[in-house]
């Protein structure tokens, strides 16, 4: 199923993850211009490997 992964927290206790998210909930950054994106397929194993599948211009 297609999705966007922002982070993986494999093996991290729920309480620690919750604490981290609450601490950083107010994070704000300046706007950025994005002119393209790349679609990757992840291959999970001992170490994750990422295979670029397609590029898409956004401009």
* 18-50 residue pLDDT tens: 998 899 999 999 998 989 999 988 888 888 899
Number of structural domains (the chain) is: 1
CA distance 24 to 45: 29
Expressed as residue numbers, the domain containing 45 is 34-59
Whose CA is closest to 39, among 16, 57, 20? 57
Q: What is the pTM of this model?
A: 0.55
Q: Identify the residue with better confidence: 4 or 11.
A: 11
CA 38, chain centre distance (Å): 13
Is 3 within the bounds of a domain?
no
Is 56 within the bounds of a domain?
yes
Is 24 within the bounds of a domain?
no
Q: Does residue 7 contact residue 24 with C-beta atoms inside 8 Å?
A: no
CA distance 57 to 35: 6
For residues 3-31, give the mean pLDDT: 87
């Amino acid at each position: 199923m297609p999705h966007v992964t922002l982070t993986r927290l494999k093996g991290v206790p729920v309480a620690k993850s919750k604490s981290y998210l609450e601490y950083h909930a107010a994070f704000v950054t300046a706007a950025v211009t994005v002119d393209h994106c790349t679609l990757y397929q992840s291959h999970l194993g001992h170490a994750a490997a990422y295979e670029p599948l397609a590029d898409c211009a956004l401009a």
